[in-house]
Chains A and B, each alone.
Chain A
Amino acid sequence: DGGITQSPKYLFRKEGQNVTLSCEQNLNHDAMYWYRQDPGQGLRLIYYSQIVNDFQKGDIAEGYSVSREKKESFPLTVTSAQKNPTAFYLCASSTGDRGTQYFGPGTRLLVL
């Protein structure tokens, strides 16, 4: 089955800890995205990548980092600099032709 997988489903972060969220796609899409979703605020773009080994900051990149070493994978690290990390994180991919984005199931990050 083609699609986007995210892991883990739930993640707990301790104070001062960096955590990494996984996103994998087998749709052969060039572009991948990370969003953060908070209640009442819709989806906000954290980082996006149009091609391997290249990525750009979105609207709320502070406290986050990404890498794009493989076409299929776009992991997101939530660093200790992100002071309010509790949210639902969504990964998406697209063919990059100004068309649609397809989303993974999401990871819920909670702070202990």
Chain B
Amino acid sequence: QKEVEQDPGPLSVPEGAIVSLNCTYSNSAFQYFMWYRQYSRKGPELLMYTYSSGNKEDGRFTAQVDKSSKYISLFIRDSQPSDSATYLCAMSGLTGGGNKLTFGTGTQLKVEL
């Protein structure tokens, strides 16, 4: 079993829809949670960063962390075609040195006109 599980998709939604992207994890030592957006053939771009449990909002994006359920989510409101990309969750904690991140495999999102 992988430490971080993420549905690979692809997920296709109409423009304006609310998108929910999710990851589950098994290691309770994870405390730092990130979401990256990766356009095709580009490097990942940091989208959201959350420490421990709770919600964080930035514009149309909301990140949620539920440590008791080992579950994190990214919500995108009023989705746009420009949101079409692969979304990677990542997390780190006290499990290893060097600030290593453990990544999900990514969810491919397509927002259609």
Cβ-defined contact, B42 with A100, below 8 A: no
Interface of chain B residues 40 through 91 with chain A (CB within 8 A): 41-46, 49, 88, 90
Q: How far is the CB of A3 from chain B (nearest CB, A)?
A: 10
Total count of chain B residues near the partner, CB < 8 A: 26
Choose the segment among A14-22, A39-47, A60-68, A70-78 that binds chain B (4+ C-beta atoms closer than 8 Å): A39-47
Chain B residue with Cβ nearest A101: B101
A56 CB–B CB distance under 8 Å: yes
Complex CA gap A101/B6 in Å reads 20
For chain A, what secondary structure do more than half of its interface residues adopt (helix, strand, loop), or is it mixed?
Answer: strand
Distance (Å) between the CB of A75 and the closest chain B CB? 17
Is B27 on the interface with A (CB-CB < 8 A)?
no
Do A100 and B34 contact each other (CB < 8 Å), given the known contacts A42-B88, A106-B42? Answer: yes
Chain B residues closer than 8 Å to A98, beta-carbon distance? 31-32, 92-93, 99
Q: Which of B31, B44, B98 is within 8 Å of A31, CB to CB?
A: B98
Q: Is the CB of B42 within 8 A of A105?
A: yes
Contact present for B43 and A42 (CB under 8 Å): no
**When chains A and B are docked, how far (Å) is the Cα of A48 from the Cα of B99?**
10
User: Per-residue CB proximity of A80-112 to B under 8 Å, as 1/0?
Assistant: 000000001010001011111111111010000
16 contacts between A and B (CB under 8 A): A4-B43, A41-B105, A42-B6, A42-B105, A50-B99, A88-B41, A90-B43, A99-B99, A100-B46, A100-B49, A101-B90, A101-B101, A103-B43, A103-B45, A105-B42, A108-B41
B binding-site residues for A, Cβ under 8 Å: 6, 8, 31-32, 34, 36, 41-46, 49, 88, 90, 92-93, 97-101, 103-106
Q: Which residues of A come within 8 Å of B, CB atoms? A: 4, 6, 31, 33, 40-43, 45, 48, 50, 56, 58, 88, 90, 94, 96-106, 108
Across chains A and B, which 8 residue pairs bring their CB atoms closest together, nearest first?
A103-B43, A42-B105, A43-B103, A42-B103, A105-B43, A103-B44, A106-B43, A98-B99
